[in-house]
Amino acid sequence: MLAQGIRPGELVAIYLMNSAEFLIIWLALLSIGCSPAFLNYNLEGTALLHCLDVCEAKLIIADDDAGCRARIEGSREVIEKNKGMKMVFLDDELRREITATKAIVPGDEYRAGVTGEFPCCLIYTRYVNGSFHSIIQLTDIFQWHYGPSEGLCLYH
């Protein structure tokens, strides 16, 4: 992700179905002082764009599943041109590229500025009627390491 221009303190939008890569990407982001904004992979159109506006990610990692691809491709022009976000699909080509890359443990300097105020992740949820979206910001998961936090915060 560093090669994609992501820097410590930034959020990366994750539009993935359940997979081993989901957890690996989360841990990789934390290792460089970043956090994921987990998007519901069923979101599309206005709801998806709203979530992207809130998290202000520069990079979106999307699932290569045909349904996921179709939903996010419907907004790709707005995402890339109007919002300036880069989109990559976790397809076989990207997996090969990742596998061919030498594994290097990121230095502590990437996480040096991370405090208890920085979210461990953002989780997007939806009310039962589907009309509103929220973000649950988890800051207290690593409270023991980074110090006290305000706990679980909801944003509308």
Count of domains in the chain?
1
- Residue 33 pLDDT: 94
- Residue 128 pLDDT: 54
* 5 domain residue, yes or no: no
* 14 domain residue, yes or no: yes
* 1 domain residue, yes or no: no
How far apart, in Å, are the Cα atoms of 103 and each of 28, 62, 72, 100?
11, 22, 30, 9
| CATH code of the domain in which 141 resides | 3.40.50.12780
* 112 domain residue, yes or no: yes
Host domain of residue 33: 10-155
* 82 domain residue, yes or no: yes
* 91 domain residue, yes or no: yes
* 110 domain residue, yes or no: yes
pLDDT in tens, 113-152: 888 778 888 887 665 555 445 556 665 444 444 455 444 4
* 97 domain residue, yes or no: yes
User: How many residues are listed for the chain in this entry?
Assistant: 156
pTM for this entry: 0.81
Give the count of alpha carbons within 13 A of 27, CB side only. 6
- Residue 135 pLDDT: 59
Q: How many helices (H) and strands (E) does the chain have?
A: 6, 7
- Residue 66 pLDDT: 97
Q: What are phi and psi of 19, to 5 degrees?
A: -165, 165
